[in-house]
Amino acid sequence: MKIPRAIGALIDSFCKLPGIGPKTAQRLTYYLLHVPQIELDNFSDAVSKLKKDTTLCTNCRNVGESDPCLICSDMLRDISTVLVVEQPLDVLAFEKTGKYKGLYHVLHGAISPLENIGPDEIYTSDLIERVKKDKKIKEIIIATNPTMEGEATAMYLTKELKKIEKNKLVITRLGMGIPTGADLEYADEVTLFQALQGRRDV
């Protein structure tokens, strides 16, 4: 195959991204050949500066421009509640609802024994220390994903957080059940069972 080196290099880089196979990588690369150099330079800049121009907040471990991040330094937020999520993207998802006014804690992963990721590989101890030190925290909402790894992480965190001697620390989990707009007919058994268990008075 006679692919020029510059093209091969970019195809390889695209291939390393999740969900992008060799065919898509080829298509993206050849598309970029028709794009003005100024746009390529912008793209190239954005890639190289991504990590240099961002930082992890020492308080909540979210990705931000400043430390502490904009959410942690926002005086209007409810500092008594901390929502624990796996990824920075989960923070965005909750922020989009516009309904959550508390703080966050980003674990940057979930416990997964199969991939050799234990509690020390993600920011669990940071959360424990933060709850121990910050006397104003009254509620921890654990919002890990409803997967095997997320459940394992939630169980571990619940166990460790309960060890902390603190008055009235409430630990909660997200409500489970039928998502809005879903069709009951196609809901799986586990979801239906959880919807039954989580039923509420009206």
**How much is the CA Rg of the chain, to the nearest whole Å?**
22
Chain centre distance of CA 23: 29
Task: Report the DSSP pairing between strands 55-56 and 63-64.
Answer: antiparallel
CA angle 16–18–24, rounded 5-degree value:
75
- How would you class 105 by CB atoms within 10 Å of its CB: exposed for 0-12, middle for 13-18, buried for 19 or more? buried
Question: Is 43 or 193 the residue whose CB approaches its own copies more closely?
Answer: 43
CA angle 125–145–98, rounded 5-degree value:
95
Question: Is 170 near its own copies (CB under 8 A)?
Answer: no
Question: Is 1 near its own copies (CB under 8 A)?
Answer: yes
Question: Is 53 or 183 the residue whose CB approaches its own copies more closely?
Answer: 53
Rounded-to-integer distance, Cα 128 and Cα 134, Å: 10
Question: Is 63 or 169 the residue whose CB approaches its own copies more closely?
Answer: 63
Segment contacting its own copies by CB under 8 A, of 6-14, 128-136, 158-166, 187-195: 6-14
Question: Is 32 near its own copies (CB under 8 A)?
Answer: yes
Question: Is 4 near its own copies (CB under 8 A)?
Answer: yes
DSSP letters, 42-109, are HHHHHHHHTTTT-EE-TTT--EESSSS-TTTT-TTSEEEEEEEESSHHHHHHHHHHS---EEEEE-SS
Q: Which of 108, 132, 138, 173 binds its own copies (CB under 8 A)?
A: 108
Question: Is 179 near its own copies (CB under 8 A)?
Answer: no
Segment contacting its own copies by CB under 8 A, of 41-49, 138-146, 156-164, 177-185: 41-49
Question: Is 35 or 190 the residue whose CB approaches its own copies more closely?
Answer: 35
Question: Is 2 or 199 the residue whose CB approaches its own copies more closely?
Answer: 2
Footprint of its own copies (CB under 8 A):
1-7, 9-10, 12-13, 16-20, 24, 26-34, 37, 39-54, 63-65, 69-71, 87-89, 92, 95-96, 108
